[in-house]
Structure 1
Amino acid sequence: MSVDPGRYAAPVRRSGGEAEQQPVIVRCARRALAPDPLRVLLLHGLCSNGGVWDPFLPLADPRCELWTADLPWRGTGVHGWTGLPVETWADQAVAAVPGGPDVVIAHSFGTSAALTWLDRWSTGGADARGPSAVVLVSPLYRATAEEFDWNSLAYYVNNFDRILIEGMHMGPSRRLPEERRHTIAMKIRDLVSPYGWFQFFGTYLRMPQMRTERMTMPFLLVSGGEDMVAAPSDAEALAKSLPDASVHVLPRHGHFPMVTAVEEFADLTNTFLRTRLPGPPSGSPHLTMEHNR
């Protein structure tokens, strides 16, 4: 979960000057600086947008072609986005990358969207191919239903405004007085509405159902040691459930390690990709789910 009201206050514009209202908008943020690129799709968290990845873009490995998605839970949300499961929107982002992504990198609520998409993808036929590697930043995951109790629900309800305020420290709004940030956070909370919050928490509740044993590609999980949204224990539990995963907890960092520790995050990600995907992409077809658009 993340928020940057300084980024979403002004609508993104088309060349004709009309505000874009499509639920999913995917753009190439950086072309690769090497032949045979790795196509990388970046997914953001709740109340954020693709701009949250801006600090990472210039530091990514030169062979990475970077695609950012503005998903329907950006800002205060595109009207009606909660009517469909999050994996539907993730699939639309995947389908918008020409040839499909070789790597998916996701943050916070975006990790939930990625995992639920991967869960549905894993039921595909023998010829289906998903991403070759996945990087999840501040993932939200619990292995069993028993780990969710009433205290879990109360924590995320009662601290929603604090979570939003933390996200505001990552963008231009960090320069505002604390009282002003709190006022804005409360307005954002009300605009997101219980529907947006329930979609976030409802997706979190689905994590024990994920068939992670089918997700055989290598995973890199990065967590902040002081994350108040997605505890490092979530990343560690997810790593145990995956066939091939490594975890890196960055001490003294919170929910946005790809911003607050961007050089360390970039080094971890680049090393992971160079080690686990040393050659050029195979060029074999990528899978996208069929659904009504």
Structure 2
Amino acid sequence: MTGIHVVVRRTRAAAHERPVRALALHGLAATGTTWSAYGQHAAPGVELWTAELPWGQTGAPAWSLPGGDPADWIGAAMDEVPGGVDVLIAHSYSALLALEHLAAPSPQARPGALVVVSPFHRGDPADFHWDTARHYLSIFQDVFDEALRLASTRPLDAGIRHDMALLVRDRVGPYGWLRFYDSYLRSPFLDTAALDLPVLAVAGRDDRFAPPEDAASLADALPRGRLCLLDDCGHFPMAERPREFADAVHAFVSESVTSAGVS
């Protein structure tokens, strides 16, 4: 993975002398703009940082080739935030990697709290079947279609949007899909006991990609996990229900980060 860089930038200043530094990590084939709506609704005390990760829209395709561990990029992104990260917020594929990174024996740094959005998690290896792989192969482009629909400033023809989603899928490629699915397959072996920090799992009840049952299973397995399910919401709660999402994060951070100046 040498030669692939992670870019982290502050996208929202805090209106507070003791800000809570939140680092938000996008999912597969996305960008830091994924968090724009959340930034508009976040509590005044939140200083929002976003990352452009190798598996994002602007990343080099070589990130997915064999060699190295993508979870290392979670630590690399955290290291770029001056003063450290109070709250790490990670969506979808990045949520998988964030959990792996923070459960490692000696992570370089830990946030005060973690928010995993639309996480993928299964508690038992027996929960995976051949049909599981077939399902995720068949709907892989659909998540990009949904992302395009939400990000578009004007309605896109469904056929054009479908073709655009296929182009995104093809850019991610088979190796990118394998990286995602390999991380998902490892989720039953996550050392949940090592994740002894406050964790909020946020999921949409209508998510077709990361089932809300995954978020519930994860929250139940974590020592200090809690669950927030949003109604009429799919795979992108921070874009589909930004006010409700921001309120849930605000309440969680207020209770979990003792020095939080989020009011």
Q: What corresponds to 2:50 in structure 1?
A: 68
Q: What corresponds to 1:81 in structure 2?
A: 63
Counterpart of 2:174 in 1: which secondary structure? helix
Q: What corresponds to 2:10 in structure 1?
A: 28
Q: Quick check: 1:51 aligned with 2:33?
A: yes
Q: What corresponds to 2:253 in structure 1?
A: 273
Q: Quick check: 1:263 aligned with 2:243?
A: yes
Q: What corresponds to 1:92 in structure 2?
A: 76
Counterpart of 2:10 in 1: which secondary structure? strand
Counterpart of 2:234 in 1: which secondary structure? coil
Gaps of 5+ in 2: none
CA deviations on 1:75-132 (whole Å, 9 max, x unpaired) are: 1741311143221111110111112201101111110111111122xx129xx75111
Q: What corresponds to 1:198 in structure 2?
A: 178
The residue type paired with residue 101 of structure 1 is V
Q: Is the 8 A contact 2:253 2:260 kept in 1?
A: no
Q: Report the CA distance between 1:280 and its aligned residue.
A: 4.6
Q: Report the CA distance between 1:249 and its aligned residue.
A: 1.0
**Following the alignment from structure 1 to structure 2, what is the Cα–Cα distance between the partners of residues 79 and 47?**
10
Q: What corresponds to 1:4 in structure 2?
A: none
Gaps of 5+ in 1: 1-20, 282-293
Alignment of 1:73-152 (within 5 A): 73-75=55-57, 77-83=59-65, 84-120=68-104, 123-124=105-106, 130-152=110-132
CA deviations on 1:13-32 (whole Å, 9 max, x unpaired) are: xxxxxxxx953110011122
Indicate the larger mover: 178-187 or 75-84.
75-84
**Following the alignment from structure 1 to structure 2, what is the Cα–Cα distance between the partners of residues 202 and 269?**
29
**Following the alignment from structure 2 to structure 1, what is the Cα–Cα distance between the partners of residues 64 and 84?**
25
CA deviations on 1:172-198 (whole Å, 9 max, x unpaired) are: 276210000111111221121101110
**Following the alignment from structure 2 to structure 1, what is the Cα–Cα distance between the partners of residues 200 and 114?**
6
Q: 1:119 to 1:49 in 2, by over 3 A?
A: same
CA deviations on 1:251-274 (whole Å, 9 max, x unpaired) are: 221001111111011111111111
RMSD: 1.8
Q: 2:213 aligns with which of 229, 233, 251?
A: 233
**Following the alignment from structure 1 to structure 2, what is the Cα–Cα distance between the partners of residues 79 and 256?**
23
Q: What corresponds to 1:216 in structure 2?
A: 196
TM-score by length of 2: 0.93
Runs of at least 4 residues off by over 4 Å: none
Q: 1:228 to 1:180 in 2, by over 3 A?
A: same
Give % identity: 37
Q: 1:149 to 1:78 in 2, by over 3 A?
A: same
Q: What corresponds to 1:37 in structure 2?
A: 19
Q: 1:117 to 1:67 in 2, by over 3 A?
A: same
TM-score by length of 1: 0.83
Aligned residues: 257
Q: What corresponds to 2:164 in structure 1?
A: 184
**Following the alignment from structure 2 to structure 1, what is the Cα–Cα distance between the partners of residues 221 and 87?**
20
